[in-house]
Amino acid sequence: MGNDEREQTINQLLTEMDGFENNAGIIVLAATNIPEVLDKALLRPGRFDRQIQVGLPDSKGRETILKVHCRDKKLAPDVTLKDIAKRCLGMSGADLANVMNESAIFSARGKKTEIGMQDIYDAIDRIQIGMEKKGAVFSDERQKLVSYHEAGHAILGAVMPEYDLVSAITIVPRGGAGGVTIFTPDEETMESGMYSK
């Protein structure tokens, strides 16, 4: 963003890359999650002139990534990585690592010897929705209104077969929400972004 350190880094990269001949047999690889801020000089022919977009993993990919992040964790027999992968739609590998680390923390806080499915779902909720507001006191009237509101989301989800499936409902306040109805989109619909209604 124009600071000296960034300019020095780019200049050094360009200097080093200019030293390579076309037949040197050396390929320089780099990765970024913000390609729009790269200096155009880095993207000229002969430098970083090929771009490969690596998208977010699909359900099968997420399941494989979860297996990697579960290797050193003891999981309860009820844990099904396939179900977890479906619930983690749109998450990157780093997000999935975070889910497993958070679930291990939930498990440890509960003084358990293994991570259960509920620990993992709690971790997903914490990451996607926010922390549960513990100790907050709400009136019965407020909780009743939140219940009606979330039930309305769930009923509409149930009567509209074209829409996403309802996977969870809570009236426990999390983050900035008084309650949440969680919909799990179909993988193909989510990736294409093409809802018919």
> Which positions are catalytic?
150
Cα–Cα nearest to 191, from 56, 60, 20: 56
Measured CA to CA, the distance from residue 115 to residue 84 in angstroms comes to 13
Measured CA to CA, the distance from residue 57 to residue 133 in angstroms comes to 31
19's tokens = 């030293």
Measured CA to CA, the distance from residue 50 to residue 93 in angstroms comes to 23
> Which residue shows structure tokens 């992040």?
69
State the pairing for strand pair 165-170/180-184.
antiparallel
Contact 144, 135 (CB under 8 A): no
Measured CA to CA, the distance from residue 157 to residue 169 in angstroms comes to 12
Measured CA to CA, the distance from residue 94 to residue 192 in angstroms comes to 23
